[in-house]
Chains A and B, each alone.
Chain A
Amino acid sequence: MGDKVDEVSDLAAAAKEALAPAQGGIVGRQAHLKILLHAAKHPWAETSGMLIGTETKGKISVTDAIPFCHAPMMAPIVEIGTAFVEEYCKSEQTPEGSKIFGWFYATSRGNVDTVPKPTLAVFKKLQTVSGTQGTCLVRVLNKNLSDESTTALDIMTLKSSGDGFSSSSQWKTELDNTKEFTKLLKEGRQDIVFDMDDFMHDSTSDWRNLNLV
């Protein structure tokens, strides 16, 4: 009887853990660098893309960033790109259990803090489509890009009221500075980042950016 009670308790605990909202996570090195390199390739444009990763016991590990746009973001590129990312996550090319965990963007303007309306719309749709409580929005902090001691990223989650974002203390980055980014920039690595816009223009452009960083 005691064993059965323990078994039920274990099952209940496991169920509770599975149903609980994800408790933040970490943006990995590869994702971090790809976000910044994508922005660096198109400094005059707004850039954006999707974040994918895995979840273990409520903690999310964002393992990769898939760049989408450096042109005005409209529904076709987002729909087609999302379909590609979903299939990519199911394939053997990504770690098992990979899912979509958020969106990243960088504005072309250094002093605009509000999240663009199309970005907000895409993010809310991602939350309903991916069914993930822990979806995050990562923003490049343009003002911090020249300071190597910072991460130059702001990781935000949607407020419970649903009408804005706030920086999340439950999210961290694997890298705590942008020294490696500076090194890659000096090597010109940003010139070989490809996004979905590039793929839609030239089908040989690889948005997976497999050996970029």
Chain B
Amino acid sequence: MEFLAEKRKDNSRDMPSRVVETGKELLRRRGARLGVEQWSVREQVFLAALDTNELDVAGSMLKEIEAQFPDSQRAGRLRGLYLEAQGKTKEAAAVYDGLLKTNEINMLAFKRKICLLIAAGKDSEAVTQLTKYLDTFQADSEAWKQLALLHIQCGSFRNAVFCLEEVIISDPHSYISALALADAKYTLGGDVVNIVDARKYYSLSLHLKEGAANPRALWGMMLATRALDEWAADATDSTGKKKQQPKGKAGSDNVAQLVQRNLNTALNMRAQEHIANMELPEGMKDLVTKVAQRFSCKA
């Protein structure tokens, strides 16, 4: 039961086979004695059974839920999902349209219609509809994340950065949101300002979740600081004379101010120290040391 509760709390779809098996057993042994929680468990098993393609299990869970909550919009959405799993996308769309007719601000139904577009590979249309959705429901950070994902899949990193900035505004204490924005800024690249921003957001992520508990931010920090170190090195030649910067990029004076080479090196070394002390699987230490050396600052 703790396993199922944990998965519901995290809103995680991992290990769906185990969720189905555990949930079915729990309902078989305790069923009605679970009280109101049984309906959350049934819904959870239903969703996991869709992932494992056990449509008979999903169908039986749905039948019980619909019997208990006949006019529920939430149950209606599950009916739509069940139809989608069977490949009946037109019928599913009709269910969602019905839900929206009853309640035009049913966010879940609106979003499922967008999911139908994504499933059909109509990414451009999905972006349009999701953007329209977000015009109304601007605080839906999950929708911003989905829109960011669509932009990433299309290779539109500038738009992805915009979406992830909205996510971080709605959840400034999430180290994962800071990490995603840092990754997107680094990927966007092109200008030293984006890499400096990436470094800032990796720092924020590490501030929110420190050191070895946040390996992705540590590695990202090493990448960003190494890139900035190279950029700063390129900004001046061997005599220390400033080189002419390519058009469109920050000028040499700005690069030095932005990069702050000493700070940059210190951040890189700090990340390396944490990485050197990480717990690793057997035989991985040597690989980690060599890769960390690749991303160390020369200064």
Contact = CB atoms under 8 A, between A and B. Distances in A.
Task: Indicate, yes or no, whether A interacts with B.
Answer: yes
Nearest to A201: B216
A200 interface: yes
Contact of A118 (B121, B152, B183, B186): B152
B280 A117 contact: no
Contacts of A77: 183
Contacts of A76: 183, 186-187, 216, 219-220, 223
Interface residues of B, number: 41
Interface string A65-98: 0000000111111011001100110010100000
Contacts of B15: 191
Nearest to B198: A76
B118 A75 contact: no
B51 interface: yes
B153 A116 contact: yes
Interface in B77-123: 118-121
B184 A203 contact: no
A112 B216 CA distance: 30
A160 interface: no
A111 interface: yes
Interface stretch (B35-43, B250-258, B284-292): B284-292
Interface residues of A, number: 36
The winner among A72, A77, A83, A191 for most chain B CB atoms within 10 A is: A72
A160 to B, nearest CB: 23
A3 interface: no
A88 B118 CA distance: 37
Contacts of A116: 153
A206 B284 contact: yes
A87 B155 CA distance: 28
A203 B120 contact: no
A129 interface: no
B231 interface: no
Contacts of B157: 74
B59 interface: no
A188 B20 CA distance: 13
Contact of B149 (A72, A80, A202, A206): A72
B16 to A, nearest CB: 8
A125 interface: no
Interface in A85-139: 87-88, 91, 93, 109, 111-112, 114, 116-118, 121
Interface string A48-75: 0000000000000000000000001111
Contacts of A75: 183, 186-187, 189
B13 A74 contact: no
Interface in A163-211: 188, 191, 199-206, 208
B212 A83 contact: no
B248 interface: no
Contact of A109 (B17, B121, B154, B286): B121
B13 A44 contact: yes
Contacts of A87: 287, 290-291
A42 to B, nearest CB: 8
B287 A84 contact: yes
A46 B149 CA distance: 11
A111 B291 contact: no
Contact of B152 (A72, A88, A199): A72
Nearest to B291: A83
B279 A91 contact: no
Contacts of A206: 281, 284
Nearest to B149: A72
A28 interface: no
Nearest to A120: B155
B246 interface: no
Given A74-B187, A87-B290, A118 B280 contact: no
B297 to A, nearest CB: 16
Given A74-B184, A76-B183, A83-B294, A203 B278 contact: yes
B186 A109 contact: no
26 contacts: A43-B16, A43-B51, A72-B148, A72-B149, A72-B180, A73-B152, A74-B186, A80-B223, A87-B290, A88-B287, A91-B286, A91-B287, A109-B121, A111-B119, A111-B120, A116-B153, A118-B155, A188-B17, A188-B18, A191-B15, A191-B18, A199-B215, A203-B278, A203-B280, A204-B281, A208-B284
Given A109-B121, A205-B281, 19 more contacts: A43-B16, A74-B187, A76-B187, A76-B216, A76-B220, A77-B183, A87-B291, A88-B287, A109-B118, A117-B154, A191-B17, A200-B216, A201-B216, A203-B278, A203-B279, A204-B279, A204-B280, A204-B281, A208-B284
CB-based closest 3 A-B pairs = A200-B216, A117-B155, A206-B281
